[in-house]
Amino acid sequence: MGTMTIAKGINNGLRAAMERDPKVVLMGEDIGKLGGVFRVTDGLQKDFGEDRVIDTPLAEAGIVGTAIGMALRGYRPVVEIQFDGFIYPAFDHIVSQVAKMRARSLGKIKLPMVIRIPVGGGIGAVEHHSESNEAYFAHTAGLKVVCCSNAEDAYWMIQQAIESDDPVLFYEPKRRYWDKGEVDESAAPRELLRANVLREGTDATLVAYGPMVKTCMQAAEAAAAEGKNLEVIDLRTLSPLDLDTVAASVEKTGRTIVVHEASTFLGMGAEIAAALQQRCFYHLEAPVLRVGGYNLPYPPSKLEEEFLPDLDRVLDAVDRSLAF
Amino acid sequence: MSDNAVASTGEQAGTRPAEDDVLAELTAPVPEVGDGGPEMVQLLTPEGQRVENAEYDEYVKDLTDEDLRGFYRDLVLIRRVDAEATALQRQGELGIWASLLGQEAAQVGSGRAMRPQDYAFPTYREHGVAWCRGVDPLNLLGLFRGVNHGGWDPNEKNFHLYTIVIGAQTLHATGYAMGIQRDGDVGTGDADRDAAVIAYFGDGASAQGDVNEAFVYAAVNNAPVVFFCQNNQWAISEPNERQTRIPLYQRARGFGFPGVRVDGNDVLAVYAVAKQALDAARSGQGPTFVEAYTYRMGAHTTSDDPTKYRVSAEVEVWKHRDPIERLKSYLVHTAKADQEFFDAVDTEADELAAHVREGCLSMPDPTPDSMFDHIYVEEHPVVEAERREFAEYHAGFATERGH
C-alpha cells in the first residue's frame, strides 16, 4: 500500500509487467533516458536496457507498424504515443492492421500490444496536445479501449492491458497525471473490462471516464451540499462498454448524464444514450443528457476552460435532468 | 487494389476505339523502354547467355544443374497457376486476381534464396514467393474469391498474410526483424539459426511514407531485413516517373544502406543478389534494398485495362526479356535439361492447374455466423451479443417456414 501519482502508478505497472514477462518491450519517442515527456517511463531504460525500452525515430506510423512486427515475432510491445494529437499518422496501422490481423488470419495469430495515449486538455498546451479521440478507436472492431482515472487503476489496468491477448488502446488522463491516490499492490485488481461505481446515489447517475471522473466526483459533492444524491460511475472501459453496470445504476436513478471532454457528436455519450434508451426505456425519467466538448476543433488554450466540461456545466445538466 | 470497382472498358457497345485512335497507336513512335542501365546486375542475357560477374558469380557457383532445373520448374508452375487464376476470375469464380505475369523470376529467385527460418512479408502479388515457401496456391485464392481475408497460418511457412494496404508490410517486416535481433538470432554464425526478413513491395509503394519509415527504422536499428522492390514499371496506370526522380535502388544510399538493381527477369541474378542481401542481414550487417527491374506483363489486376495508359510496343519489348524463355534457352544450349524434362514440367503444370481449379470450385463458402469468429482472442460481449441476435433473427425465419 502506498500513495502515488497516476504517472507513477503506470510506471510501477510497466515495471511489474516487464519483470514478469521478458517479452514485454516499450517503444516510443523519448521514452528512454528522458523517461517520456510525462516521465511515465522514468528509469525503465536504465533498469531494463535499450533493447527493451526503445527510443524510436520520430515517426508514429513506424512506431506502431514495427510494433506489429514485434508482436508477430512473439513480443508484447507497449507503445507510447507522445500526445493524443500525434496518433493520426499511425491511424492506418491501428485500424487496418492491428484491429484486423486476427480476423484476417482466421484466428491463427494474435497481436498482443498496448498503445498508450495521454489524452485530453486542461494543460494550457498548443494545438494537437489536448485532444480526445477515443471514439475513433472505440468505433473500430478488433480493438479494446480503456481509460484509467486514478493511480490504483493506472497501476493495475496497464498490467491487465499488457496481459490481454487482444490489442488495447490505453488512454491516460494527462491533466491528472500528478494526482495522487492510494495503490494497494498486493490486493486483487478489479476486472479490466468492468466499470466501477465510485459513489452510490439515488437521484441521478453521472457516467464519466478518465479526466472527467474527478470533475464528476466534485460535482457530486457539490450537489450533495444541495441535497441531491448523485451516483458516479467510472466507465474504465470504452470498448467493450460495461453497459450492465451503467444500466443497473440507471434503473435505480432513472436519470443519466454522460460526461466527457470529447465532442458530443457521435462520441461515447451518443452510444451510451442510444444503448440506455434501448435497455432501460421504462426506467428513464428523463432523456439521457450529454456534457462534452463543443463540436469544434479544440480551441486555443485561453478558451479551453470554456470548451471543456466543468463542475458547473455538469451541475447544470443535473438540474435539467432533475427538472424533467 | 483500389481499382476493383473499375470495369474493364473498350469492348462495350459505344466505347470501341475510334479509327483515328487505332491509327495513332499504330504509328506512334515506340517509347523509350528502359533496360535497367549499366549498373544492373545480370547473369543471364535475355538470349540466355551466361554473363560473368566478379561480385555475384560466387553466390551461384554452388547451384547444381538440378537446382537450375528446379528454378525453371518453379517459374513454369507458378505462371501456370497464375494463368489458371486469371481464367477462374474471367469465369466468375474469383472476384479479382492480381497477376504476377512477367515477375516470376523476381519472385522465384528471391524466394529460393531464403532459408526456412527466414520470414517473408508479401504484398498481394507474391504468388511465386508463396510457392517457394511451400504455401499451397489454393490458400491464396480464398482472399480473391471472397471466402476469407487470407486465413493461412503465417508461421507455418514463415510467409505472412497478403497485405493490401500499399507498403504497410514493410514496417511489419522491420519490426519482425527487430524481434529477431532481440532473440539473438543474428550474427551467431549458425546457418540454421541466423534469420532474416524479406519485405516485398513495388515501385508504387516506394512513394509511401510507411516504406520510407521502414527504411529509417531498419537503418537505425541495423535490422536484418531485405527490402525487395519489384519495379514492374507501373503502379496501376502510373509509370515510374510519377513515383521517383532517381533510380529506386539509389534511394537506399540516403538511408544509409546498400541498394542494388538486379535484372528482375533473370532468375539467376535475382537469386545471387537476394542471397547476398539475406546473408548480409543474417550475419548482422543490416538492411539492403534490392530493386528487381522487371515488368508487369498483364494488367494491374483483372479489373484493370492497361490499353488505356500504355502502348503495346512497350509490352513487345519486354516480351523479349521473358524470364522463362531466357532460362530455358540457357538450359538447352548448356545441355542442362532435355526435351523430356520440359515436357514433364508442362505436364506437372497442367496437373497443378487442375488442382487449383478443382480446389477453387470446391472451396466451401464460409458459414454466415463465422463472420463473428476471431475478432478478438478473448470473449467479447458485443460480438457475442450480436452473434446471438444474428442466430435468433435467422432462427425466426426457420420457424416461419416451419409453420
Amino acid at the residue A290: R
Q: Do B175 and A67 touch (CB under 8 A)?
A: yes
A315 contacts: CB under 8 Å, gap ≥ 6:
A219, A222, A223
User: B224 to chain A nearest CA, in Å?
Assistant: 13
Closest CB from B161, B174, B377 relative to A104: B161
Same domain, B374 and B251: no
CB B232 within 8 A of CB B295: yes
Query: In the structure, what pLDDT confidence band is assigned to residue B345 with cuts at 50, 70 and 90?
Result: very high
Q: Is the ipTM of this complex over 0.85?
A: yes
Same domain, residue pair B283 and B396: no
Q: pLDDT at residue B215 above 90?
A: yes
Task: Answer whether A7's CB lies under 8 Å from A37's CB.
Answer: no
Query: Tens of pLDDT along A125-162?
Result: 999 999 999 999 999 999 999 999 999 999 999 999 99
Q: Do the domain assignments include residue B298?
A: yes
Mean pLDDT within B175-186: 98
Q: Would an 8 Å CB–CB cutoff place B150 in contact with chain A?
A: yes
Q: Is B309 on the interface with A (CB under 8 A)?
A: no
Task: For residues B351 and B396, state if they share a domain.
Answer: no
Q: Are B72 and B337 in contact (CB under 8 A)?
A: yes
Secondary structure class of A152 (helix, strand, coil): helix
Are B283 and B137 found together in one domain? yes
pLDDT exceeds cutoff 50 at A178: yes
Does B173 sit within 8 Å of A103, measured CB to CB?
Answer: no
Q: What is the mean pLDDT of residues B215-240?
A: 97
Nearest CA to A231 among A195, A188, A271, A277?
A195
* B120 contacts in chain A (CB < 8 Å): none
Instruction: Give percent of chain B with pLDDT exceeding 90.
Output: 89
**Runs of H (alpha helix) within B61-103:** 65-90
Q: Which of A59, A67, A239 sits opposite B213 (nearest CB)?
A: A59
**Disruptive mutation site among A104, A194, A279 for chain B (greatest number of B CBs within 10 Å):** A104
> Would the pLDDT of B32 be above 90?
no
Cβ(A278)–Cβ(A246) below 8 Å: no
Note whether A68 contacts B: Cβ–Cβ < 8 A.
yes
A269 close contact with B: CB closer than 8 A = no
Say if residue B375 is in the same domain as residue B328. Answer: no
> Residues A118, A84: contact at Cβ < 8 Å?
yes
pLDDT class for A113, splitting at 50, 70, 90? very high
* Contacting residues of B for A79, CB less than 8 Å apart: none
Q: What does each C-alpha distance from A295 to A132, A264, B201 come to in angstroms?
A: 12, 7, 41
Whether residues B221 and B275 fall in one domain: yes
- Give the per-residue pLDDT at A23: 98
| CA atoms of B334 and B277, how far apart (whole Å) | 28
Average pLDDT taken over every residue of chain A: 98
C-alpha distance from B250 to closest chain A C-alpha (Å): 22
Q: Which of A230-239, A271-280, B299-308 comes out lowest in average pLDDT?
A: B299-308
Q: Does B10 map to a domain?
A: no
Measured over all CA atoms, what is the biggest interatomic distance in chain A, rounded to whole angstroms?
59
Nearest 5°: CA angle at A59, between A55 and A61? 115
Q: For residues B188 and B224, give the distance between their C-alpha atoms in angstroms, rounded to a whole number.
A: 13
B196 and B321 within one domain = yes
One domain for residues B209 and B96: yes
Asked if A49 is an interface residue toward chain B (Cβ–Cβ < 8 A), one would say no
Asked if residue B26 is part of any domain, the answer here is: no
Distance CA A312, CA A305 (A): 11
Please indicate whether, in this complex, the C-beta atoms of A106 and B374 are within 8 angstroms of each other.
yes
Alpha-carbon span B359 to A214, nearest angstrom: 60
Based on the fold, state whether residues B313 and B396 are members of the same structural domain: no
Map residue A34 onto helix, strand or coil.
coil
Question: What CATH number has the domain bearing residue B157?
Answer: 3.40.50.970
- Say if B25 falls within a structural domain: no
- Residue B11, pLDDT > 60, answer no
CA atoms of A69 and A199, how far apart (whole Å): 43
What is the number of other CB atoms lying within 10 angstroms of the CB of residue B64?
A: 9
Please measure the distance between the N-terminal and C-terminal CA atoms of chain B and give it in whole angstroms: 47
pLDDT tens for B233-286 read 999 999 999 999 999 999 999 999 999 999 999 999 999 999 999 999 999 999
Determine the Cα–Cα distance for residues A18 and A7; give it in Å rounded to an integer.
Answer: 17
A260 assigned to active site: no
The rounded distance, in Å, linking the Cα atoms of A74 and B198 is 18
The catalytic residue among A93, A128, A129, A283 is A129
Where in the sequence is the domain holding B181, given as residue range(s)? 34-361
**B156 within some domain:** yes
For residues B330 and A202, give the distance between their C-alpha atoms in angstroms, rounded to a whole number: 88
Distance from C-alpha of B342 to C-alpha of A284, rounded to nearest angstrom? 79
Give a yes or no: residue B240 inside a domain.
yes
B166 is a domain residue: yes
Question: What values do phi and psi take at A131, rounded to 5?
Answer: -90, 160
Number of Cβ pairs closer than 8 Å across A and B? 140
Closest chain A residue to B219, measured at CA: A57
**How much is the pLDDT for A72?**
98
Which residue is associated with the grid cell 547473369? B43
A162-171 pLDDT tens trace:
999 999 999 9
Segments of chain A assigned E as strands: 2-5, 24-28, 53-55, 76-80, 114-119, 144-147, 168-173, 180-183, 196-199, 204-208, 230-234, 237-239, 256-263, 289-293
- The domains located in chain A, with CATH, are 2-183 (3.40.50.970), 196-322 (3.40.50.920)
Q: Based on the domain organization, do B261 and B378 belong to the same domain?
A: no
B310 and B396 in one domain? no
Q: How many domains does chain B have?
A: 2
| Mean pLDDT value of segment B162-170 | 98
Indicate whether B259 and B374 sit together in one domain: no
Cell representation of residue B271: 537469386
Q: At what angle do helices B104-113 and B267-282 cross, to 10 degrees?
A: 40
Residue B8 lies in a domain: no
What percent of chain B is modeled with pLDDT above 70?
93
- Whether omega before B366 lies within 30 degrees of 0, making that bond cis, reads no
Neighbours of B242 (CB within 10 A): 12
